[in-house]
Amino acid sequence: MDDLDRKANDAADQAAFDASQRQAEEQEREAEAQAKAKRQAEDEGREAQLKAGTKRRAEEQERQAQAQALAKTGRQTADQEREAHAAAGAKRRAEEQEREAQAQAQAKARRQAEEQERDAQVKAGAKRRAEEQEREAQAQAQAKARRQAEEQERLAQGKAGAKRRTEADTRQTQSSKDKYG
C-alpha cells in the first residue's frame, strides 16, 4: 500500500503542482493582461494628452489667428478711417481753395468793374470838361467874332461917316467953289 499511497501522494503532489502551475500561469497571464491593459491605458492616456495638446495648440492658433485678424481689421479700419479723414480734409481744403479762388476772382472782377467805372467817370468828366471847354471856346470865339464884327461895323460906320463927311465937305467945297468961284 505504500506504493499506492506513494502514487496517490505523488498524484496529489502532481495535482497540487499542476494546480499551482496553472494558478501561476493564470496569474502570469492576468499580470501580462493587466500590464498590457496598463500599457494600453498609458498609451491611450498619452494619445489623449497628445490629442488634448494638439487641440489646445489648434485652439491657441485659432485664437491667435482671430486676434491677428481682429488686429489687422482694426489696423485696416484705422487706416481706412485715417484715409477717409485725409480725403475729407483734402476735400475741405479743395473746397476752401475753390471758395477763396472764387472770392478772389469776384473781388478782382469787382475791382476791375470799379476801376472801369472810375475810368468811365473820368472819361465822362473829361468829355464833359472838353465839351464845356468847347462850348466856352465857341462862346468866346463867337463873342470875339461878334466884337470884331461890331468893331468892324463901327469902323465901317466910322469910315462911312468920315467918307460921307468927306464927300459932304467935298460937295460943300465944290459948291462953295461953284458959288464963289
Per the document, the length of the chain is 181
Q: CA-to-CA distance for 36 and 30, rounded, in angstroms? A: 9
Question: For residue 108, what is its C-alpha cell?
Answer: 478782382
Q: What is the pLDDT of residue 62?
A: 93
Residue 1 is classified by DSSP as -
User: What pLDDT shows up at residue 106?
Assistant: 95
pLDDT tens, N- to C-terminus, the chain (181 residues): 677 777 778 888 888 888 888 888 888 899 899 999 899 989 998 998 999 999 999 999 999 999 988 888 888 888 888 999 999 999 999 999 999 999 999 999 999 999 999 999 999 998 999 898 888 888 888 888 888 888 888 888 887 777 777 777 777 777 666 666 5
Helices within the chain (DSSP H only): 2-180
Q: Pick the closest to residue 105 from 93, 116, 97, 95 (CA basis).
A: 97
Instruction: For residues 133 and 127, give the distance between their C-alpha atoms in angstroms, rounded to a whole number.
Output: 9
The terminus-to-terminus CA distance of the chain in angstroms comes to 255
Distance from the Cα of residue 89 to its chain's centroid? 5
Residue 178 is predicted with a pLDDT of: 66
pLDDT for 142: 87
pLDDT at 167: 77
Kindly report each contact of residues 118-121 with a partner whose C-beta sits within 8 Å and lies 24 or more positions away, as own/partner: none
Give the pLDDT confidence score for residue 115 in this predicted structure: 94
Domain spans in the chain, listed from the N-terminal domain onward: 47-170
Q: What is the pLDDT of residue 88?
A: 93
Say which amino acid occupies 104: Q
Q: What is the pLDDT of residue 150?
A: 85
Q: How far apart are CA 30 and CA 43, in angstroms?
A: 19
